[in-house]
Structure 1
Amino acid sequence: MSSNGNVSEISGSDQNHGGVIDIYPLSCYYFGSKEAGPFKDETLADRTQRMKSNYAAYGLRTCVNAVILVELFNHPHLLLLQVRNSIFKLPGGRLRPGESDIDGLRRKLSRKLSVNESSGETEWEVGECLGMWWRPDFETLLYPYLPPNVKKPKECTKLFLVRLPVSRRFIVPKNLKLLAVPLCQIHENHKTYGPVISGVPQLLSKFSFNIIES
């Protein structure tokens, strides 16, 4: 950085610190639909009770979510699933007992974004874990850290970077929408997207984006 306080100079090696994410245009991908998947229509009280029952049976609930980027209008966009035109979610879901993070995320992505789990398009390049969120008890929101006084957290949500190939078919259940949302719209927009999704742009700040023309 220069000493005059007006101009900052960054070397090429500093610019690439943290890695590079290749992003392909949205037009490279095909989007279709399939039969609607199951959806739990429950109140907050119902969900809390279900979490308590699952915790009693299996212990800590672990969820894995995918951070998937595409390019549109020369800007990085995050792929989000929308439920009932209101709730936004990252693609992913809960792990089965004994299932690894990577295997579980690939299974969830294939179920929600491919023709079926056994199709030939189920290979997903799951990269590094970008962040972890914790639910200290059943009623509270997720925290981006585990409070030191919490010895038995009830839920852990892990966000993984998933890199797309130059082309892919996305086949989504009819009761879900797959949207490409610009990072600038998501950044710190807690009211619309919640704390986990709105924090994704900051998690990606250590990367450089390499937009590849189709």
Structure 2
Amino acid sequence: MGDDGHVNAMEDDEASAAEQRRAIDIYPLRNYFFGSKEALLFKNEALADRVQRMNSNYAAYGLRTYVGAVLLVELFKHPHLLLLRLRNSIVQLPGGRLRPNESDLDGLRRKLSSKLSAIGASDASDWEIGECLGMWWRPDFETFDPHLSSNVKGAKECTKLFLVMLPENREFFVPKNLKLIAVPLCQIQKSHETYGPVISSIPQLLSKFSFNIIGT
């Protein structure tokens, strides 16, 4: 096979791989309404007290599981990730800790409704949760960088990220002490120090998908 044939074969392989990637429908940010609701109550405690509380809960209930939602929107013709900001510095994915014996999906739906839906709204089942994108394990609560491995023995905490597909339109109601922001995926990938190891890995985790931006 000549050079032209080799190049054509490579192009065909790349095109075939692209076709095999599952497309994610993303809608413009302008399609969504953003309102506010009563502030959430957060524990005001010192780091040492927080670590002690988490260790006590681990002793009582076992592995602590945190679930986070990957929500995507379009802005300026590029995919953006929705994040919650607390105190103008702490940034996190919508989600939270599971209750004892609560399933991943039930817990994530509960947390999404608590942080992003109107008070009293019964739309927990309306959240379309897709596949788990990744899992991180932490062997202790004193070290705040999670370990990306399924073989961590005696892990105390597991963080799971799930892809959540947004409909064409939706109303978001965010607690007054939180702010919902849209951050470009390209910015997140380059800002490990700002967003931490979990959030900054999301662009790479999404590389197996293609984005179908609708309505731009």
Gapped regions of structure 2 (runs ≥ 5): none
| Deviation digits for residues 146-179 of structure 1 (CA, Å, limit 9, x no counterpart) | 3x4x421100010000000000000000000000
Match of 2:187 in 1: 185
Separation in structure 1 between the aligned mates of residue 202 and residue 47 of structure 2, nearest angstrom: 25
Contact 1:126 1:163 in 2 (8 A): yes
User: Which stretch has the larger CA shift, 136-145 or 126-135?
Assistant: 136-145
Contact 1:16 1:207 in 2 (8 A): no
Separation in structure 1 between the aligned mates of residue 19 and residue 26 of structure 2, nearest angstrom: 15
* 1:144 alignment partner, one of 141, 148, 154: 148
Match of 2:200 in 1: 198
Greater Rg over alpha carbons, structure: 2
| Deviation digits for residues 63-89 of structure 1 (CA, Å, limit 9, x no counterpart) | 110000000000000000000000100
SS at match of 1:82: strand
Matched, 1:17 2:20: yes
* 1:119 alignment partner, one of 105, 118, 121: 121
* 1:163 alignment partner, one of 146, 162, 165: 165
Separation in structure 2 between the aligned mates of residue 200 and residue 43 of structure 1, nearest angstrom: 30
TM superposition shift of 1:42: 2.5
TM superposition shift of 1:6: 8.1
| Deviation digits for residues 109-167 of structure 1 (CA, Å, limit 9, x no counterpart) | 00000013x41443100000000011011222201213x4x421100010000000000
Separation in structure 2 between the aligned mates of residue 206 and residue 64 of structure 1, nearest angstrom: 21
5 Å-filtered alignment, 1:76-87, equals 76-87=79-90
Separation in structure 1 between the aligned mates of residue 20 and residue 86 of structure 2, nearest angstrom: 36
Contact 1:79 1:180 in 2 (8 A): yes
* 1:134 alignment partner, one of 122, 133, 137: 137
Separation in structure 2 between the aligned mates of residue 6 and residue 175 of structure 1, nearest angstrom: 55
* 1:61 alignment partner, one of 64, 87, 102: 64
SS at match of 2:20: coil
TM superposition shift of 1:198: 0.5
- The residue type paired with residue 38 of structure 2 is E
Could you tell me the percent identity over the aligned residues?
Answer: 67
- The residue type paired with residue 130 of structure 2 is G
Query: For the structure 1 residues 55 and 101, does the alpha-carbon distance in structure 2 shift closer, same or farther, using more than 3 Å as the test?
Result: same
Separation in structure 1 between the aligned mates of residue 45 and residue 204 of structure 2, nearest angstrom: 32
| Deviation digits for residues 81-118 of structure 1 (CA, Å, limit 9, x no counterpart) | 000000100000000111110010000000000013x4
* 1:35 alignment partner, one of 30, 33, 38: 38
Separation in structure 2 between the aligned mates of residue 169 and residue 103 of structure 1, nearest angstrom: 20
Match of 2:212 in 1: 210
Separation in structure 2 between the aligned mates of residue 101 and residue 25 of structure 1, nearest angstrom: 28
Gapped regions of structure 1 (runs ≥ 5): none
- Aligned pair count reads 210
